[in-house]
Structure formats: C-alpha cells, structure tokens
Amino acid sequence: MLAVSNLFQILLALLLIYAACVDIIKFNIANWLVLACAALFVVAALASPGPVNWLSHLAASALMLAFSLLLININFMGGGDLKLLSALCLWTGLEHMLVFLAAVFIAGGLLALLLIVARAIAARGRPDANGTLPRVLQKNGPVPYGVAIAAGAIYLMLPL
C-alpha cells in the first residue's frame, strides 16, 4: 500500500469497515464510498513525504477496472465490489496489487466457509427459515464480498 501517515490509513480503514457493514446488511457498496476511497488516495499521495509512482497506482486501478468489466459481464461479482477493488488497487499500485488480490481471495474463501456454517446453523430445524432470517443468513444467499475486500486491504495496512 501507499506509504502514508497513520491518519490516512485509519480513515481508509474506517471507510472500509463501514463499507463491509453496509454490504452485510444491504448487499450494496455505495458509489460515494468508492469515490471517497479514491479521493482519499489522492489526498494521501499528495501529502506523502516521499515520491509517489502515479503511473503504477493508476495502472493498477485501470487494470482492475478492465478486469472488472469481464467479471461483471459473467455475473461473477457485483459492480460495487468491483468498483471498490479498482479504487483500492489505486492504493496498492502494481507493486502490491497481486498480494492485495491474494489477500482478498483468501478472505473471500474464509468468508464463504463462515457463511456456509452460519447459514446451516441459522436454518437448523427451520424449513421456512429463508423468510425470517436476515438475507446474509438465508440459504443460497449472496456473499457480501465487500467484507473480504475490506479485510484484504486492512491486512495490507498492518505492519508485519
């Protein structure tokens, strides 16, 4: 991720936690959240004490956006998730893009396993459970992938 002060990392983490929470409830990531993540990158890059390889950051975002068009056309992921991925690839640049995407996909796999277990427990002994359960716990419901995206980005911000 872009080497920036803790303030920018905290602000980005708060935006991502909010996006994940909203995605769990509404299965929607608002455009303003995606734009806020992208705008925060610009401010952080301009405030960065060191040089910023703008070309690398813009290229990573553009590559993810182009790949997103393919994923949207095959209904693999929702548009909000893919826009958020593109905005966060702006933060990673080409240098950290693959590590970020790997972290997102690992978090997505863990999220899917967690949902399988949680949905099985929630539906246990309730054949009509889909009508009374929150959408995130309904059998065969969608996966709020914004949670995995946020987890992957926050993982990259952690000092390891």
* Per-residue tokens: 66: 């182009």
The rounded Cα 81 to chain-centroid distance in angstroms is 6
More confident residue, 15 or 80: 15
| Cα–Cα distance, 71 to 79 (Å, whole number) | 9
Percent of the chain with pLDDT over 70: 94
On whether the CB atoms of residues 111 and 148 are closer than 8 A, the answer is yes
Residue labelled with tokens 């893009």: 97
The pLDDT value recorded for residue 127 is: 66
Closest alpha carbon to 13 in 42, 36, 46: 36
**Contacts of 43-46 spanning 24+ positions with Cβ under 8 A:** 43/8, 44/2, 44/4, 44/5, 44/8, 44/12, 45/2, 45/4
| Structure confidence by residue, pLDDT tens digits, 122-158 | 888 776 666 778 888 888 888 999 999 999 999 998 8
pLDDT band of residue 56 (cuts 50, 70, 90) is very high
Question: How deeply is 61 buried, as exposed, middle or buried, from its count of CB atoms within 10 A (0-12, 13-18, 19+)?
Answer: buried
Taking the CA of residue 128 as centre, how many other CA atoms within 13 Å lie in the half-sphere pointing to its CB? 2
What local confidence, expressed as pLDDT, does residue 130 receive?
63
How far is 42 from 54, CA to CA, in rounded Å? 10
Q: Tokens 């705008």 sit at which residue?
A: 39
- pLDDT for residue 116: 93
Whether the pLDDT of residue 110 is over 90: the answer is: yes
Q: Under DSSP, is residue 22 helix (H, G, I), strand (E, B) or coil?
A: helix
Torsion sign (Cα): 1, 148, 154, 80: positive
Residue 104 pLDDT grade (very low, low, confident, very high; cuts 50, 70, 90): very high
State the chain's mean pLDDT as an integer: 90
Question: For residue 22, is pLDDT > 90?
Answer: yes
